Amino acid sequence: MVTKQSKIYIAGHRGMVGSAIWRQLSDQGYTNLLGFTSAEFDLKDQQAVKTFFEEKKPDVVIDAAARVGGILANSNYPYQFLMENMQIQNNLIDAALQNDVEKFIFLGSSCIYPKMAPQPLKEEYLLTDTLEPTNEWYAVAKITGIKTCEAIRKQFGKDYVSLMPTNLYGTHDNFDLKTSHVLPAMIRKFHEAKENDNAAVTLWGSGTPMREFLYVDDMAASVIFALENVLPEHLYNVGTGVDRTIRELAELIQKVVGHTGEILWDAEKPDGTPRKLMDVSKMHDLGWKHKVELEQGIVNTYNWFLENINNFKEVKMS
């Protein structure tokens, strides 16, 4: 039974998702939160993780820690995306099991599903076909985490659950144009073009692919929902259940930013998967639903971007 005094360890508490979870738990009166930076505590170090669990004895673990990045980063560093993510999650999950942690919430991504799976994506489509090649390394790592948590539920009867969000965005996002995802990259591009006499903005592809976006505070709320309830299954999609074209997204961001120049589409560049929409009916049936609609979320994110324009988080690879 989780209480406001339960000792809750949030791995990755400085990241976009982890920091949102920390803020919401604090706001809701949870008083015993644990979090450490990667400099203080390397999650890839099995012995360090083992010692931490033995000394701190958390009641709950929320795994929001991962090496993440866009297509370019995944393509350039396949080994790191596969190995480091498996090391992080394996160390956390096994230490949690060995130290009798009753509840573990594992966070992943919609990229776990096959590239050509039917739309919208249902949880049961996992492992039914081949993955999208550009991020299969990250996806395979996350799939092993999901199956490990499922195995623990099956063998040991513990409340280990996996939540798979759609495309996330929000405050504390990554706005580095070399490594960021589409929505924060567009915010930065439109802002810089506005500052440059409303210069034209060139975007990749045709603008026709459809994508779903979830504000990070809604993702955090889904984690707290999983924390405060015993969910009957091991895997749940988390999203809005609504998507729109990349062209519509661009026009909405342009409006929020206040850019009045032209939008150019470079059709020579790849579009990626035509559509990626999550079926979120299982979470809806349990009582969780998103609250922040896309335009308001973009307003919030752009305001945060302006406040932090001089110290964006840069993603470093090695």
Residues tagged in the binding site annotation for substrate: 189, 204, 211, 271
DSSP 8-state secondary structure symbol assigned to residue 205: S
| Given 9, 113, 138, 215, the catalytic residue | 138
Task: At 130, list the tokens.
Answer: 């081949």
138 flagged as catalytic? yes
**E strands present in 8-78:** 8-11, 33-34, 60-63
Please, are residues 101 and 60 in contact by the beta-carbon 8 Å criterion?
Answer: yes
Residue holding tokens 């979120």?
Answer: 280
The amino acid sitting at 70 is G
Please, are residues 18 and 65 in contact by the beta-carbon 8 Å criterion?
Answer: yes
- 3-state secondary structure labels for all residues of 7-54: CEEEECCCCHHHHHHHHHHHHCCCCCEECCCCCCCCCCCHHHHHHHHH
Interacting residues of 111 by C-beta distance below 8 A, sequence separation 6+? 131, 132, 135, 138, 139, 142
With vertex at residue 19, the alpha carbon angle to CA 203 and CA 101, rounded to the nearest 5 degrees, is 125
Query: What's the CA gap between 201 and 197, in Å, rounded?
Result: 12
The amino acid sitting at 8 is I
Residues acting as catalytic residues = 138
